[in-house]
Amino acid sequence: MLDAIRVTLPDGSVREFPRGVELRAVAEAFNGDLGRRAIAALVNGAGKDIYLPLQADATIEFVTPESPRALEIYRHTTSHLLAHAVKELFPEVKIGVGPATDEGFFYDFERPTPFTPEDLETIEARMRDIKARDLPIRRIEQPKSQALGYFRGLGDNLKVELVAEKGGEVVSCYRQDNFMDFCTGPHLPSTGRIGAFKLLSLAGAYWKGSEQNQQMQRIYGTAFATEEQLAAHLAMLEEAKKRDHRRLGPALDLFSVEETAGPGLIFWHPNGTVVRQILEDFWKDEHRRRGYQLVTTPHIARDELWRLSGHLDYYKDNMYTFEIEEAGYVIKPMNCPGHSLIYKSRLRSYRELPVRYAELGTVYRYERSGVLHGMMRVRGFTQDDAHIYCTPEQVLSEIEGVLDLCLAFLRTFGYERYEVDLSVWDPAHPEKYAGDAAGWQMAEDALTRALRDRALTYTRREGEAAFYGPKIDIKMFDAIGRPWQGPTVQFDFNLPQRLSIHYVASDSSQKPVVMVHRAIYGSLERFFGGLIEHYAGAFPLWLAPVQAIVLPITDRTAAYAREIQTLLRGQGLRCEVDERNEKIGAKIREAQLKKIPFMLVAGDREAQARTVAVRSRKEGDLGPMGLEAARDRLTRLDRERALEP
């Protein structure tokens, strides 16, 4: 075939086609059904629209509705559909940006009049109308000046600003009927191919995320390939509302955010503090058992320390600074420099390594008020930081030990499903990273081998390492399938280099340490907020603020109820007595609302027989049980950290 090009599929299939063949035709040639179902293509890894011509040899992976990349394309195309509908209904609106997200999509609009929930219904109806028109969606490439002229002609100053800042010499836009948007794509080939969608909510936002810019109105939505997938997602959102820690936390008297004190600061109530102390004690015991030394570092330090560490250069906008006696100080935003100063307080021999320092250190960082979210995004939080200082020869065993610790924690708290990412550097751009190529290769090899030795499946993230080192991130999934940020293990080439952290080697020379930074909880606040939602507030017995409550039926058995309480408290169990003058049914209902794992009912018959009627939060009435048997059952569940009461 003259002027032919070769196409290779992921399974190794190869065919020749005439240059300029449409990607859709390539798909059809390999498989007729694939040609009908393909919505886009990855050409040598780059996303392309299915109707574009192919001009050179390529490896192609076709994106179908089931492909991992498909959801992003459905959602991004639906965000354009949203903007198109808004412009048809409200021509005066200026459109901002509309990306796909992990949960769906959003689009930001500038409009003097606020949108209302009724507007959302109208907009969604118009979106369905535009979808039904099955309008072709086509990529248009044009000189930057031409794109600027088009958006200026519309009076759309936000798009003019975006094209001016982000557009190259040639600018790509996508047109459907009379609506065109600045975008790199790819997109579905027509509005008729858009799947199921739903507009969800309204929120305020700032243009480009800066409080210095104008206020925008953000419309959130979600989209899927099928109605069944959308229905399942909406059901999950309803369940998520019931589990929202911002609602359950105050309802269960666990924590609050007090406006008088300021946003993003968590007040732990007695119930929440009980759980926090259990989390802390478990963490400390496990770390001591594994050879960590617990340390404590100050909450403030001279700004010179943060200048030496590099944080003042990279994170100053997120740090709280002040002066004492004309000297600059910083409220601690992280624990790493403090641990390194403890290590450097004297010269260390290779015989002492590894040194493992761990701290539950409270830190403070500035976050914009618009991104604060309950316990998940705050300004003050306690990190469960640990830093390992070791030799290159010790790295592998240390990483494996950290992974074992991470998995043990996940199992303990009932996170059965998790995913692992390995983020590595981009060797083509070493100028973006601290450390040298040999160090990066050593670190990457250690992380990779540790994951393989532990038989952990992982996704390799090229070029997504932090500037100071490669890392492993573990994403844990809760009871309703939502991902949460979990443990992280990362190398740090920056601090040993900037703070001159060394050890004395066997040949008496001083060599730089290998520094591993890791966190299991991440922060107590975020982890606790996630636990509230994971358990829907119904903590397993070992974590419950109140593990059992004794419910006397009449005043005559109040003394017996207090005797039961004393017996259980003697075993270290957290037990309360409800002595209110209420009917037993009301007491049981309230205990259920408080999500107390066990209710021990004590009436005249129980007092005479030295028993209790045991009621489980989950299983209901368990019948009468001797005092010692009830005590032993609760003690065993507590000791074993059982996940079910």
Q: What number of H helices and E strands is found in the chain?
A: 20, 34
548-639: CATH topology = Rossmann fold (3.40.50)
Whole-number Cα distances in Å, 60 to 2, 30, 68, 258, 421? 21, 11, 15, 55, 25
Count the Cβ atoms, other than its own, within 10 Å of residue 459: 11
User: Predicted confidence band at 2 (pLDDT cuts at 50, 70, 90)?
Assistant: low
Q: From the candidates 365, 482, 526, 594, which is the catalytic residue?
A: 365
Q: Rounded to 5 degrees, what are φ and ψ at 140?
A: -125, 120
Report the length, in residues, of the chain: 645
pLDDT of residue 316: 87
Q: Pick the catalytic residue from 176, 217, 383, 565.
A: 383
Cβ atoms < 10 Å from Cβ of 296: 11
**Can you tell me the distance from the alpha carbon of 523 to that of 360, in angstroms, rounded to the nearest whole number?**
9
Kindly report, as residue ranges, where domains of CATH 3.40.50.800 are found in the chain: 548-639
Give yes or no for residue 1 having a pLDDT over 80. no
Q: Which residue is catalytic, options 87, 471, 498, 534?
A: 471
Q: How far apart are CA 149 and CA 160, in angstroms?
A: 8
For the question of residue 385 being annotated catalytic, the response is yes
For 541-579, write each residue's pLDDT tens digit: 999 999 999 999 999 999 999 999 999 999 999 999 999
Backbone φ and ψ for 488, nearest 5 degrees, come out as -140, 145
Domain with CATH 3.30.930.10 in the chain: 275-294+332-534
Give the span between the Cα atoms of 197 and 227, in whole angstroms. Answer: 8
Which residues belong to CATH 3.10.20.30 in the chain? 4-63
pLDDT of residue 627: 95
Task: Please give the average per-residue pLDDT across 424-450, as a whole number.
Answer: 89
233 classed as catalytic: no
Give residue 431's pLDDT band: very low, low, confident or very high (50, 70, 90): confident
Tens of pLDDT along 260-272?
Answer: 999 999 999 999 9
CB 424 within 8 A of CB 464: yes
**For residue range 493-542, what is the model confidence (pLDDT) as tens digits?**
889 989 999 999 999 999 999 999 999 999 999 999 999 999 999 999 99
Our answer to whether residue 139 is catalytic in this structure is no
Which architecture, in CATH terms, is 275-294+332-534? 2-Layer Sandwich (3.30)
Q: Which is the catalytic residue, given 287, 517, 574, 595?
A: 517
The 3-state DSSP class for residue 45 equals coil
Which residue out of 387, 518, 574, 587 is catalytically annotated?
Answer: 387
- Mean pLDDT, rounded, for 279-289: 97
The mean per-residue pLDDT over the stretch 274-301 comes to 97
E strands, 121-163, are 138-143
- pLDDT (0 to 100) of residue 31: 87
336 is catalytic: yes
pLDDT(645) > 90: no
Fold of the 4-63 domain: Ubiquitin-like (UB roll) (3.10.20)
pLDDT-wise least confident of 193-207, 421-435, 539-553: 421-435
Q: What are phi and psi of 214, to 5 degrees?
A: -70, 155
Helix intervals (H) in 424-500: 437-453, 494-498
Q: Where in the chain is the domain with CATH 3.30.980.10?
A: 70-242
Separation of alpha carbons 284 and 278, rounded Å: 10
Confidence of residue 23 (pLDDT cuts 50, 70, 90): very high
Strand partners, 199: 221
Annotated active-site residue 387? The verdict is yes
> Comparing C-alpha atoms, which of 377, 378, 385, 410 is closest to residue 334?
385
- 48-94 pLDDT, tens per residue? 999 999 999 999 999 999 998 999 999 999 999 999 999 999 999 99
Nearest 10 degrees: CA dihedral of 177, 179, 183, 188? -40
C-alpha separations of 338 from 366, 386, 395 in Å: 20, 11, 22
State the pLDDT at residue 557: 94
Confidence at 313, pLDDT banded by 50, 70, 90: confident
| Distance, CA of 405 to CA of 290 (rounded, Å) | 9
For residues 586-609, average pLDDT = 96
Determine contact, residues 328/300, Cβ cutoff 8 Å: no
- Architecture label for domain 70-242: 2-Layer Sandwich (3.30)
Over residues 440-464, the mean pLDDT reads 93
pLDDT digits (tens, 9 = 90+) for 91-139: 999 999 999 998 999 999 999 999 999 999 999 999 999 999 999 999 9
Q: Are 340 and 495 in contact (CB under 8 A)?
A: yes
> 48, 87, 243, 336: which one is catalytic?
336
Catalytic member of 385, 473, 492, 638: 385
φ, ψ dihedrals at 523, nearest 5°: -145, 150
Range with the lowest mean pLDDT among 157-161, 217-221, 283-287, 369-373?
A: 369-373
Contact 577, 553 (CB under 8 A): no
